[in-house]
């Protein structure tokens, strides 16, 4: 029996015309059973412009953060495989299909898109500063985590439902550092992780604060390393309590689906 697929596209103040075109490409190329846009702080008219497309649109009046938006979207899906892709189309629909394939086919529990993989096709580069900082972070993450990848932050990943259920209560970062936590926790829980080279087309106009985001990623990396070690070495209930420190997991902080 074929496994069902759900795709979440987190978007913060997007170019609505470009997003509508990208959503149509994702729908045509992957034919997902569920397709959702998690839209934060949209400009006037954005929701109406997306309403006739193939995706369900949920709107948040404030900026949740990428991780919180994906988490809320994943919680709303009822499919066997959960995937997300960044709204700017830096990873084209065809490459998202490549990322999804090993999870849909049962060959991996978590698939991680990679623009730094030797076989990746990088057609438009980031600025030197963003590329340099990203390379340094990827190198540090390889040293810090027991999941040796080329790229931890590429905006395309897919996970099967059972793995998501296992990791969801161990994710705390609402922003761009969410990806690091997902990979680290999945690795600590013994998930089969596949890195998939993608086509990458850098898009101008990023909303990312390069230096601030890099510092936040560094802090999140240290926290993820600590949590992963606890999960591997201690009973899970004790591990969870030891790093929670009264703070609920991200999945317990996002509102339930109100569609």
User: Is 213 domain-assigned?
Assistant: yes
Beta strands in 50-126, from DSSP E residues, in sequence order: 56-60, 81-85, 110-114, 121-124
Helix (H, G, I), strand (E, B) or coil at 36: strand
**Phi and psi at residue 121, in whole multiples of 5°?**
-110, 95
Produce one character per residue of 123-140: b if its CB has 16 or more CB atoms within 10 Å, e if not.
Answer: eeebeeebeebbeebbee
User: Is 118 domain-assigned?
Assistant: yes
Name the pLDDT band for 243 (thresholds 50, 70, 90).
low
Query: Greater confidence, 11 or 242?
Result: 11
User: Is 133 domain-assigned?
Assistant: yes
Q: Read off the CATH number of the domain in which 217 is found.
A: 3.90.550.10
Nearest of 168, 160, 163 to residue 70 by alpha carbon: 168
User: Is 115 domain-assigned?
Assistant: yes
User: Is 47 domain-assigned?
Assistant: yes
User: Is 258 domain-assigned?
Assistant: no
Task: Give the up-direction half-sphere exposure of residue 159: CA atoms within 13 A in the CB hemisphere.
Answer: 23
Distance CA 256, CA 259 (A): 9
pLDDT at 221: 87
pLDDT per residue over 83-108, tens digit each?
999 999 999 999 999 999 999 999 99
With 80 as the cut, is the pLDDT of residue 246 above it? no
Q: Cα separations (Å) of 185 from 69, 89, 203, 226?
A: 19, 27, 29, 10
Taking residues 133-157, what's their average pLDDT?
A: 88
User: Is 105 domain-assigned?
Assistant: yes
Task: Enter the DSSP assignment of 53.
Answer: S
Distance CA 180, CA 217 (A): 8
First to last CA, the chain: 28
Burial-class residue 47 by CB neighbours within 10 Å (0-12, 13-18, 19+): middle
CB 97 within 8 Å of CB 132: no
Q: Which residue range is the domain that position 159 belongs to?
A: 5-246
CB 13 within 8 Å of CB 41: yes
Taking residues 142-171, what's their average pLDDT?
A: 94
Q: Output helix, strand, coil percentages for the chain, rounded to the nearest 5.
A: 45, 20, 35
User: Is 256 domain-assigned?
Assistant: no
With 50 as the cut, is the pLDDT of residue 4 above it? yes
Distance CA 181, CA 60 (A): 23
Q: Which residues are registered as beta bridge partners of 259?
A: none
State how many domains the chain has: 1
């Amino acid at each position: 029996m074929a496994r069902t697929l759900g795709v979440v596209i987190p978007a913060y103040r997007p170019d609505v015309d470009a997003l509508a075109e990208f959503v149509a490409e994702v729908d045509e190329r992957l034919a997902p059973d569920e397709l959702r846009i998690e839209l934060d702080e949209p400009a006037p008219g954005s929701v109406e412009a997306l309403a006739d497309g193939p995706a369900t649109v949920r709107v948040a009046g404030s900026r949740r953060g990428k991780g919180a938006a994906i988490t809320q979207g994943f919680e709303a899906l009822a499919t066997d495989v959960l995937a997300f892709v960044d709204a700017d189309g830096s990873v084209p629909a065809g490459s998202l299909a490549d990322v999804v394939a090993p999870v849909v086919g049962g060959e991996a529990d978590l698939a991680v898109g990679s623009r730094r993989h030797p076989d990746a096709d990088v057609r438009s580069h980031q600025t030197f500063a963003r590329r340099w900082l990203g390379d340094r972070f990827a190198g540090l993450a390889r040293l810090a985590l027991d999941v040796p990848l080329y790229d931890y932050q590429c905006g395309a990943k897919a996970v099967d439902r059972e793995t998501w259920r296992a990791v969801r209560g161990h994710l705390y970062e609402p922003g761009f550092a969410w990806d690091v936590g997902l990979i680290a926790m999945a690795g600590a829980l013994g998930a089969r992780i596949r890195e998939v080279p993608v086509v990458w087309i850098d898009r101008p106009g990023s909303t990312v604060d390069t230096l601030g985001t890099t510092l936040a990623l560094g802090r999140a990396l240290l926290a993820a390393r600590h949590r992963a070690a606890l999960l591997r070495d201690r009973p899970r209930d004790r591990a969870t309590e030891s790093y929670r420190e009264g703070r609920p997991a991200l999945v317990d902080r996002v509102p339930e689906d109100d569609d």
